[in-house]
Amino acid sequence: MTETRTDATLTRTGRRGSRGPVNRDEVLLEIKDLRVTFQRRGGPATAAVDGVSFSVKPGEIVGVVGESGSGKSVTSMAVMGLLPQRGSKVTGEVLYRGENLLTMGQRQLADLRGSELAMVFQDPMSSLNPVIPVGLQVTEVLRRHQDISREDARVEAEDLLRRCGIPDPRRRLSEYPHQLSGGMRQRALIAIALACKPALLICDEPTTALDVTIQAQVLELLKELVNDLGTAMVMITHDLGVVAGLCDSVNVMYAGRIVEAAGRRELFAHPRHRYTEGLLNSIPRLDAPRGEPLQPIPGTPRDTIAWSKACAFAPRCLHADDECVVGDLPLVQLGRVNHPVRCVHPAPEEEPHG
């Protein structure tokens, strides 16, 4: 976590030499008022992401938490320019080092995507090319971004796989994706994402398909990366446990909008939005006393109202009343510093959680 450790690692591995020292105060990625609407043939337009803004600095892990339909994955796809052109409309700004990725040419974006931006998906099998050996997929990326020989690339790929926790990397290099286990594939995918030494890594549920012990390995690997290389990371997940252990700051999304944002300790100690509060109360905790019934959030994520008419969470909220029927509730600071909330009746500030 400290600068000295980072520098030592950087010098040792000789990475990132060309890009100069990492300035950890610079804003690397800034998302401003991102909106994504989908229009299906004949159907009405639906806003999947509805005015999302947040920023990421180097060496920082920003969490985006939400359930199905919250728009968290669509956000990441929009940032990477991976949404289908037909049927989707993206507005707002995604500034990467001050340049708007949304207005950038396809070619320029593709260049950037391979070199500075990388993404790790939930399903490693569909993101790896099944007919090309894993090693070749790693060396391909390495050689695209560096002017090195095939042999050098192979050595570096082997090193990369080893550092990603893949045992016997020399043998693995010549194997095909289907010969690897799920956890191994996910680590291979991370190795490919890291091959271009990205400045920004977007992880979309990278560990959801993995077993917990493998998840712990992968999360530890990602943590090291951020600490050692100063990579900025956006972590998209539904798992509050993962967020609690990994992220510096957290954005909670519901029905396409951020409903609460705070530093991780702040968020878990003082959840203000009723959705965040409800989530924390509804999940069984390994360390909680047993025998107490859980307090579920009623309804399903499908039971929403358009934000333009009222709070989208109101139909499931135990504290909802007529005042919640307000169009376009703002995300505002309520008392606590750096902790904006989009709620008419937020949880009282002093109420201790837990």
Partner 1 sequence: MTALDPAQSARPASLSALMGDGMSDEQGTSLWRGAFERLSRNPAAIIGTLIVLAFVLVAIFAPLLAPYEPAKSQWIDQVTPSDVPGPSPGHPLGLDPFGSDLLTQLIYGARQSLIIGVVSTAIGLLGGALLGGVAGAFGGRVDTFVMRLVDIMLSIPSLLLAVSVAAVMGPRPGAIMIAIAAAQVPVFARLLRGSMLAQRGQDYVLASFSLGLRRRTVVMSHVVPNSLGPVIVQATLTLATAIIEVAALSYLGLGASDPAIAEWGRMLVKAQDRLQTDPQLMLLPGLCIAVTALGFTLFGEALREALDPKSRR
Partner 2 sequence: MAEHDRSAALDSAAGPVRSLLSVRGLEVHFPIKQGLVFDRTVGHVRAVDGVDLEIPQGQTYGLVGESGCGKSTLGRAVLRLEEPTAGEVIFDGEDIAKLKAEPLRKMRRRMQMVFQDPLASLNPRQSVQSLLIEPLRVHGLAVADRAQFGADSSASHLAKVVSMLELVGLPRAALAKYPHEFSGGQRQRIGIARAMILNPDLVIADEPVSALDVSVQAQVINLLERLQDLLGLTYIVIAHDLAVVRHISDTIGVMYLGRLVEEAPSDALYERPLHPYTIALMSAIPIPDPVVEDRRERILLKGDLPSPANPPSGCRFHTRCPFRQPTRCDTDEPALRELTQVAPGRRVACHYAEEILSGEVRVRDADLLIEPVR
Instruction: Catalog residues that contact partner 1 under the rule CB under 8 A.
Output: 42, 298-300, 303, 305, 309-310, 314-318, 320-322, 324-325
Q: What string of H, E and C letters represents the secondary structure of 122-171?
A: CCHHHHCCCCCCHHHHHHHHHHHHCCCCHHHHHHHHHHHHHHCCCCCHHH
Q: In whole angstroms, how close is the CB of 255 to partner 1 at the nearest point?
A: 13
Q: Which residues are near partner 2 by CB under 8 A?
A: 1, 67-68, 167, 181-184, 211-217, 219-220, 238-245, 264-265, 268-269, 275, 278-280, 282-287, 289-291, 293-298, 300-302, 316, 354
Distance in Å, CB of 299 to partner 1, minimum: 5
Q: Considering the complex, what minimum distance in angstroms separates the CB of residue 13 from partner 2?
A: 18
Shorter beta-carbon distance to partner 1: residue 234 or 259: 259
Which of partner 1, partner 2, none sits in contact with 128, Cβ below 5 to 8 A by type?
A: none
99 half-sphere exposure, CB direction, 13 A CA radius: 8
Cβ proximity to partner 2, 110 vs 269, nearer residue:
269
CB of 104 to partner 2, least distance (A): 35
- Least distance (Å) from partner 2 to the CB of residue 302? 5
Distance CA 75, CA 92 (A): 12
| Residue 324 partner contact from partner 2, partner 1, none using kind-dependent CB cut-offs of 5 to 8 Å | partner 1
- For the chain, helix, strand, coil in percent to 5 are 35, 20, 45
Which of the choices partner 1, partner 2, none does residue 203 contact, using the CB cut-off of 5 to 8 A by kind?
A: none
Query: Edge to edge, what strands does the sheet with 257-263 contain?
Result: 117-120, 200-204, 232-237, 61-65, 249-254, 257-263, 340-341, 332-333
| 279 binding partner (options partner 2, partner 1, none; Cβ < 5 to 8 Å by kind) | partner 2
In this complex, which beta carbon is closest to partner 2, that of residue 148 or of residue 244?
244
Beta pairing class for 61-65 and 232-237: parallel
User: CA 160, CA 19: separation in Å to the nearest integer?
Assistant: 20
Residue 213 interacting partner from partner 2, partner 1, none (CB closer than 5 to 8 Å by kind)? partner 2
Supply 113's token pair: 């995507």
Nearer to partner 2, 41 or 290 (CB): 290
Distance CA 194, CA 94 (A): 22
**Given the complex with partner 2, which of 295 and 308 has the nearer CB atom?**
295
With CB under 5 to 8 Å by kind, the binding choice for 351 among partner 2, partner 1, none is: none
Q: Which entry of partner 1, partner 2, none binds 286, CB below 5 to 8 A by partner kind?
A: partner 2
Which residue, 102 or 306, has its beta carbon nearer to partner 1? 306
Q: Please say which residue, 77 or 242, places its beta carbon nearer to partner 2.
A: 242
216-225 long-range contacts, CB within 8 A, separation 24+: 217/165, 217/183, 217/187, 218/165, 218/183, 218/186, 218/187, 218/190, 219/245, 219/246, 221/164, 221/165, 221/187, 221/190, 222/61, 222/190, 222/246, 223/61, 225/194, 225/201
